Amino acid sequence: MKSSKIISKLPYQEPFLYVKSIDEVSEDSIKGSYTFKASSWFYKGHFKNNPITPGVILTECAAQIGLASFGFYLLSQQRDIDLEQVKLAMTSTNVEFLKPVLPGDKVVVEAEKIYFRFNKLKVSVKMFDVSGNLVLRGELAGVILP
């Protein structure tokens, strides 16, 4: 499955789509990126005169690439399914925020599969800025139902 097809099948749209590209994907890992637009709605109040990307948005970006996109890819490799009918739900997060992400910053998300069984995907995820600095790390899990 091509990366553009994965992104097109995600159940998100602007302004809540936080995947710009899927650069690498395999049975064991995925790598993608997103650039946070300075005009994004959440910067208006987080924080006054010193906007940074909220942790919940960083977590969502990591989940859209590391869980949703990766899960769609893994499902498509296992069987012929209609990705339009797939349901997603994040079931757990354990992330650590290590560096702020500012308006206009590009991030790269890398996720490695811990397991994918019984339609539950658990990944180890890392987010980097364009300089290669670690921004976020942790584990995410979710259910992907065909």
Domain chopping of the chain, boundaries: 3-145
Q: Find the catalytic residue in 9, 20, 46, 137.
A: 46
Asked whether residue 20 carries a pLDDT value surpassing 70, the answer given is yes
pLDDT of residue 83: 66
For residue 129, the model assigns a pLDDT of 98
Active-site residue 46, yes or no? yes
112 and 123 in contact (C-beta within 8 Å)? yes
Please indicate whether residue 72 or residue 24 has the higher confidence score (pLDDT): 24
Helix (H, G, I), strand (E, B) or coil at 67: helix
**CATH 3.30.930.10 is the classification of domain 3-145:** no
Q: What is the pLDDT of residue 146?
A: 73
Tell me, what amino acid is at 115?
Y
Q: What is the pLDDT of residue 79?
A: 66
Which pairs from 77-81 meet CB under 8 Å and 24+ separation?
Answer: 77/1, 77/27, 79/146, 81/146
pLDDT tens sequence across 52-108: 999 999 999 999 999 999 998 998 887 676 767 788 899 999 999 999 999 999 999
